[in-house]
């Protein structure tokens, strides 16, 4: 077995204090995301999305965050994919932003809710044409025989939509993740990390410090 036990480092970039926390966790999320962008992290909007299947088996994959506001976090995907099928059975979902080069992570739990067709169409129209065509080409998460099949389909669709707009596929959509908890983790010296958990109450957010 490979031994990786000596790969470790101290976390020294700074702490998170209760007095610095805004009432609304989305304000802190916005600030941290901006700092991740400013630090030029690769894919600062990439988040790990966890869903579970009917047997309770979790599965995670990376998806790009495309919008957020006080209602929650939005991503787009194929509505016939594994994740969409799992969300159809169990809408409970978890997101994780792994900003570890900033010694941070943000973990969200919540419920995924399909976006309206209008919201999806608006975003779809804003995508580059090749991405729109790629959405038509890939039956996401299905088994395929070879890459050539994908490339052939791509060329076919590209020719088909050479002129005019690419229509929104019926099987393409997005989700709003309405959070019920958001945890902010900031690495600290001597493994004394700072963790604050915002939990949604009827009208507000409760804030608790968690042990590292
Ligand atoms: C950096 C990165 C960004 C990605 N962004 C998306 C995305 O926004 N939407 C999406 O459906 N898949 C995205 N993917 C692909 C997913 O990780 C995944 O392979 C795909 O959605 C199928 O997942 P599923 O079979 O669990 O449904 C991305 C992958 C990476 C590595």
Do residues 176 and 112 touch, judged by C-beta distance below 8 A?
yes
Q: Would the CB of 53 count as within 6 Å of ligand 1?
A: no
Establish if 143 belongs to a structural domain: no
Q: What is the pLDDT of residues 50-78, one digit of tens each?
A: 999 999 999 999 999 999 999 999 999 99
Give the contacts of 51 (CB within 8 A, at least 6 positions apart). 58, 59, 83, 86, 87, 90, 93, 112
- Which structural domain, as residue segments, surrounds residue 186? 18-116+173-210
What are the distances in angstroms from CA 136 to CA 14, 74, 90, 131, 158?
Answer: 46, 21, 26, 9, 10
> Residue 168 — φ and ψ, nearest 5°?
-75, 120
Q: Would the CB of 67 count as within 6 Å of ligand 1?
A: no
Q: How far is the CA of 142 from the centre of ligand 1 (A)?
A: 13
Establish if 13 belongs to a structural domain: no
Establish if 80 belongs to a structural domain: yes
Q: How far is the CA of 7 from the centre of ligand 1 (A)?
A: 29
What does DSSP assign to residue 165?
Answer: P
Let me know how long the chain is.
212
Residue 9, pLDDT score: 84
Do residues 101 and 35 touch, judged by C-beta distance below 8 A?
no
Residue 30, pLDDT score: 98
Residue 191, pLDDT score: 87
Establish if 155 belongs to a structural domain: no
> pTM for the full model?
0.95
Residue 8, pLDDT score: 86
Nearest C-alpha to atom 13 of ligand 1 is from which residue? 63
Distance separating alpha carbons of residues 33 and 36, to the nearest angstrom: 5
- Nearest atom, ligand 1, residue 51 CA: 26
Give the contacts of 194 (CB within 8 A, at least 6 positions apart). 15, 16, 17, 184, 185, 186, 188, 209, 212
Residue 13, pLDDT score: 83
- Nearest atom, ligand 1, residue 61 CA: 17
Establish if 139 belongs to a structural domain: no
Establish if 168 belongs to a structural domain: no
Q: Would the CB of 94 count as within 6 Å of ligand 1?
A: no
Low-confidence ranges of the chain (pLDDT < 70): none
- Nearest atom, ligand 1, residue 83 CA: 27
Residue 175, pLDDT score: 98
Establish if 201 belongs to a structural domain: yes
Number of domains in the chain: 1
Establish if 136 belongs to a structural domain: no
Q: How far is the CA of 205 from the centre of ligand 1 (A)?
A: 30
Residue 174, pLDDT score: 98
The domain that contains 82 carries what CATH number? 2.30.110.10
Do residues 43 and 36 touch, judged by C-beta distance below 8 A?
no
Q: What is the pLDDT of residues 134-143, one digit of tens each?
A: 999 989 999 9
The sign one gets for the Cα dihedral 185, 186, 191, 195 is negative
């Amino acid at each position: 077995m490979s031994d990786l036990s000596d790969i470790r480092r101290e976390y020294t970039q700074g702490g998170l204090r209760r007095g610095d926390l805004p009432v609304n966790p989305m304000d802190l999320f916005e600030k941290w995301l901006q700092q991740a962008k400013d630090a030029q992290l690769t894919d600062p909007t990439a988040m790990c999305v966890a869903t579970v299947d009917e047997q309770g088996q979790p599965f995670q994959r990376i998806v790009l965050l495309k919008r957020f506001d006080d209602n929650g976090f939005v991503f787009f995907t194929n509505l016939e994919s594994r994740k969409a099928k799992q969300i159809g059975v169990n809408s409970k979902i978890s997101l994780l932003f792994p900003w570890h080069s900033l010694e941070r992570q943000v973990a969200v739990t919540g419920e995924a809710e399909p976006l309206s067709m209008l919201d999806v169409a608006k975003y779809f129209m804003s995508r580059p044409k090749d991405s729109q065509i790629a959405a038509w080409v890939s039956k996401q998460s299905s088994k395929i025989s070879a890459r050539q099949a994908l490339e052939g389909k791509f060329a076919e669709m590209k020719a088909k939509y050479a002129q005019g707009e690419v229509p929104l596929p019926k099987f393409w959509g997005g989700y709003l993740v309405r959070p019920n908890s958001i945890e902010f983790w900031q690495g600290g010296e001597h493994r004394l990390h700072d963790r604050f958990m915002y939990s949604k109450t009827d009208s507000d957010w409760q804030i608790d410090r968690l042990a590292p």
